Amino acid sequence: MTAKKPLSRLERVPLREAWKHEASDFTPWLAETDNLNALADALGISELVP
């Protein structure tokens, strides 16, 4: 038997609350492997590389 992952709710927040500045906050976050893979999956493409 595998361990169950806890579920949580998505919460809508203003983008500037999560990422204050595009170049110094959003871009480094997006360039993380897990986030690029999630974006690639959402776009239906095989792979994105930083």
Consecutive 10-residue averages of pLDDT for the chain (50 residues): 80 90 93 92 85
User: Model pTM?
Assistant: 0.64
> Which pLDDT belongs to residue 1?
62
**Token pair of 12 as six digits:** 């809508």
Of the candidates 11, 19, 49, which has an alpha carbon nearest to the alpha carbon of residue 32?
49
CA angle 40, 28, 23 (to 5 degrees): 110
